[in-house]
Structure 1
Amino acid sequence: MMTCEKLKERGTVAIVGAGPAGTTLALLLHQRGFDVRVFERDASPDARPQGGSLDLRPDSGQRAIRAAGLADAFARRSRDDAKAFRMIGADGQEMPGEGQETHEDAGPEIDRGDLRAMLIEALPDGMVAWDHRIEGLDRHRDGRWLMRIAGQEPVVADLVIGADGSGSCVRAALTDVEPIYTGITMVAAYIRPELRRGSHLSDVLGEGSVMFAGGEKTIFVQRCARDVILLYYSMAVPQDWPRCAGFDLSDVDAVMRAVREAYCDWSPEVLDMLTEVDDHFQHWPTSAMPPDHRWDTRPGLTMLGDASHTMPPFTGKGVNLALLDALDLADALVAEPGQDVADAVAGFESSMQARTSEEIRACLKVGRNAYGIDLGDAA
């Protein structure tokens, strides 16, 4: 039997994924004395854009940040005035009070890239193995887990934790259930640099974020650090869009034609203001795990964050839940030193699943109201 104490004294922990959940967990476990290594498929911290701004909430995301000793670093990098939120209709008219239920406990905003950098900087040098893409997991002959890594020698660990997002490879070793596409793909674009201050959109936006909404469509606009303005078009398209439409995201004219067609019933003035974008796009097909999904605990293996409870960003709680997962798992592994690791993990999984079941349902309810999403029995 591998107890939590034995895992700490002479075991090895492998975390797959160097996003917010994986790096927070790595830091918390390292501070508690565990031998931890993180495996990340990105070639470097700056290998790809990290997306926009996140609000870390006091009772979840910030709890984990405080536990990791990063409260001061977070205060320096975050922006309290950026949590301001408004909703405006497709006709350009203010919608007082709308959407506040998802922002009533909002915390300060921090850019995804800044959050990741803050966490990585707090880790010991060499703890993150960059450019390590996990291809699969197998039971090792001694009962531990063997991770197959593209172009690298396999790695064996006593405890493997999947923090590798909605496309998790670790999840496949725990369950056959996969996230379900909601029918909504978000296309992110940046407002042209010369319009980030002094433009009409900048004046409307202020320092926070604005949700433009109408006809079961939205365009979410947020001011990020360094005056960047990022917006997200919510497109009701097939999961393999834009490939199925015969173009890709590098075709700026085709992308913008699709956007204008999707929002053709909106005020031309509003749409003109929201399509003055740079020529770089990213897209995220949104998906959700079934709210009541459970899996049987497997010794030496678990997952957290989007790997275990993928949900759309409609309530803004995804990263907060992921950081709370990291804190709960780290606490579970030190609460009772003589407890079997599998029992500690099972307790963590049970409480995490109960919490996130409610959160996924709440998120999908917002999706039904805003976008007409209907996942049927899965929801």
Structure 2
Amino acid sequence: MSPRIAVIGGGPGGLAFARVLHRHGLPVTVLERDPSRDARPPGGTLDLHKGMGQLALEKAGLLSAFQELSRPEGQAMRILAPGGAVLRDWQPDPDEQANPEIDRGRLRDLLLGPLEVRWGRTVAEVVPGDPDGTLVRFADGKQETYDLVVGADGAWSRTRAAVSPVVPQYTGVSLIETSLDDVDTRHPDLARLVGDGSVAVYGVNRSVVAQRNSGGHVKVYAQFRAPMDGLTGLDPADTDAVRAHFLALFDGWAAPVLDLFLRGAAYVPRALHTMPVSHTWTHVPGVTLLGDAAHLMPPLGAGANLALLEGAELAEAIAAAPDALDEVVRTFETHMWHRAERWAGFTITGLSRLVSPDPSQALAVFDAVQQEQ
């Protein structure tokens, strides 16, 4: 008989895990707390790295479909000084496929494909060690038992407590997110500023980053260093107050840069958290983690790629040896920890340089990335 496997979380990592298992003919239960696939906006754009996210999609048999949906031109990157001067303007070659962009919603739909997701299943607790397997207890009081539970349930994972007491810690950086719709028609000046990819502006301990998505949609992020309670009392629904707060933080910046944020219609504040660089745990039979649940990092392009690859790799390993589930998971965890530690160190250092007292550090990070590519 096939092992009873559940993955908690319908994000990129959980769906990649389920999709690869499905490709190999193994059943898997996908438990997602959202009540439906369209219950909330899926988020912004992702750049999928050739040796990570794209490799995961290849393992799922979805690479060709991804290439049809992705936007290689989205790799373009322009960096401005706060006063508006252009410091860097990198345009990818027409055949550049190192890190093409794809909207999160399109990636989710691609991964979902034939999968059956149990929507609206909010997990309250995961309890290993039951004689019949690992218990998953739901918020409605029901429970189910599995041979393996994979926690792909993000930063504030309910699965993590089954293997580790560690919780995310604040990085010292907060952000306010907004977006522009139909930008080419309604805001042609800002569309030209953003271009086909992204525009980033770095100042002292703050930055503004705008990323083009498909369909004329642009996501804008204003990042800044602040105490954990720095956004307390700021009502996102009070757009005038949010804009005033932004203008106070970014006083003196060029008007077009400010307009990227000020023309937004809705605002969402967030505090950025991370897990320790070397987060590991003593192996617990019947449960494991992947993606942000295992190694939460700053949003600098690695997290989703790692989650996708980890989900695909774990599924492949299980498909190759379904009767050696515990051994497979032990090996997977060791490999995941080693790779994630390197990326966690890179991204945490990167955030400290991108939102720093010395804006020239951001240019150094950009130049180093271009040399790597």
Aligned length: 353
> Paired residue for 1:287?
273
Corresponding residue SS for 1:312: coil
Deviations 1:164-219 (A, max 9, x none): 00010000111001111101122211125466566222112111111111112111
- Which moves more between the two structures, 197-206 or 300-309? 197-206
Q: Can you list the C-alpha shifts for 1:319-349, whole angstroms capped at 9, x where unaligned? A: 11111111221122134455x3222111101
Alignment correspondent of 1:264: 251
For the 8 Å contact 1:220–1:232, the answer to whether it is kept is: yes
Following superposition, the deviation at residue 241 of structure 1 comes to 4.9
Map 1:75-94 to 2 at 5 A. 75-94=67-86
Aligned to 2:293: 307
Which residue of 247, 258, 270 maps to 2:234?
Answer: 247
Residue 353 (structure 1) aligned with residue 342 (structure 2): no
Mapped pair 1:328 → 2:313:
yes
Deviation of 1:152 after TM superposition, in Å, equals: 5.5
Matches of 2:284 and 2:274, distance apart in 1: 23
Instruction: Output the amino acid matched with 1:325.
Output: E
SS of structure 2 residue aligned to 1:234: strand
Match of 2:304 among 306, 309, 319: 319
Within 1, Cα distance between the matches of 2:196 and 2:53?
Answer: 21
Poorly superposed stretches of 4+, deviation over 4 Å: 194-198
TM-score, normalising length: structure 1: 0.87
Between the aligned partners of 2:186 and 2:66, the Cα distance in structure 1 is 25
Q: d(CA) in 2 for partners of 1:35 and 1:334?
A: 10
CA contact (8 A) 1:299 1:341 kept: no
Distance 1:288 1:353 in 2: 15
With over 3 angstroms needed to count, the CA separation of the structure-2 counterparts of 1:278 and 1:204, relative to structure 1, is closer
SS at match of 1:279: coil
| Alpha-carbon offset, residue 278 of structure 1 | 3.1
How far apart are residue 275 of structure 1 and its match? 2.8
2:44 paired residue among 47, 52, 60: 52
- How far residue 277 of structure 1 moved from its aligned partner, in angstroms, is 2.4
Pair 1:27 & 2:16 matched: no
Residue number among 78, 99, 106 corresponding to 1:114 in the alignment: 106
Identity of aligned residues (%): 34
Structure 1 residue runs without a partner (length 5+): 1-8, 374-379
Gaps (5+ residues) in structure 2?
A: 358-373
* Alpha-carbon distance in 2 for matches of 1:183, 1:361: 16
Look up the SS of the partner of 2:219 in the other structure.
strand
Scaled by the length of structure 2, the TM-score of the pair is 0.89
**Alpha-carbon distance in 1 for matches of 2:50, 2:11:** 20
Report if the CA contact (8 A) 2:178-2:221 is conserved. yes
* TM-aligned CA deviation for residue 144 of structure 1: 0.7
1:1-379 residue pairs with structure 2 within 5 A? 9-96=1-88, 106-120=98-112, 122-124=113-115, 127-139=116-128, 141-151=130-140, 153-191=142-180, 193=182, 199-242=188-231, 244=232, 246-267=233-254, 269-314=255-300, 316-336=301-321, 338=323, 340-372=324-356
CA distance in 1, matches of 2:128, 2:306: 29
Q: Residue 132 of structure 2 contacts residue 145 of structure 2 at CA under 8 Å; is this kept in 1?
A: no
Structure 1 Cα separation of the partners of residues 327 and 152 of structure 2: 20
Q: Secondary structure at the match of 1:275?
A: helix
- The DSSP-based 3-state class of the residue aligned with 2:342 is helix
- 2:13/2:291 contact within 8 Å kept: yes
The amino acid of 1:283's aligned partner reads P
Task: Measure, in 2, the Cα distance between the counterparts of 1:16 and 1:213.
Answer: 37
What SS does the corresponding residue of 2:237 show, helix, strand or coil? coil
Query: Matches of 1:239 and 1:364 in 2, distance apart?
Result: 17
Compared CA separation, residues 153 and 195, structure 1 to 2 (3 A): same
Q: 3-state SS of the aligned residue for 2:294?
A: helix
CA distance in 2, matches of 1:194, 1:57: 27
CA distance in 2, matches of 1:53, 1:41: 22
Structure 2 letter corresponding to 1:190: S
**CA distance, structure 2, for counterparts of residue 299 and residue 191 of structure 1:** 47
CA contact (8 A) 1:205 1:222 kept: yes
Q: In the alignment, residue 2 of structure 2 is paired with which amino acid?
A: R
Q: Assess, with a 3 A threshold, how the Cα gap between structure 1 residues 62 and 203 changes in structure 2: closer, same or farther.
A: same
Instruction: List per-residue Cα deviations over 1:294-321 (Å, max 9, x = no partner).
Output: 101111100100100100113x111111
SS of the residue corresponding to residue 124 of structure 2 reads strand
Q: CA RMSD in A?
A: 2.1
Could you tell me which amino acid in structure 1 is paired with residue 61 of structure 2? G
Q: Deviations over 1:68-124 (max 9, x none)?
A: 1112321222111111112111111112379x9xxx98411111111111111x133
Decide whether the 8 Å contact of 2:128 with 2:287 is kept in 1.
no
- Deviations along 1:117-143, whole A, 9 cap, x unmatched? 1111x133xx21101110002246424
Indicate the SS of the match to 2:86.
coil
Which secondary structure does the structure 1 equivalent of 2:61 belong to? coil
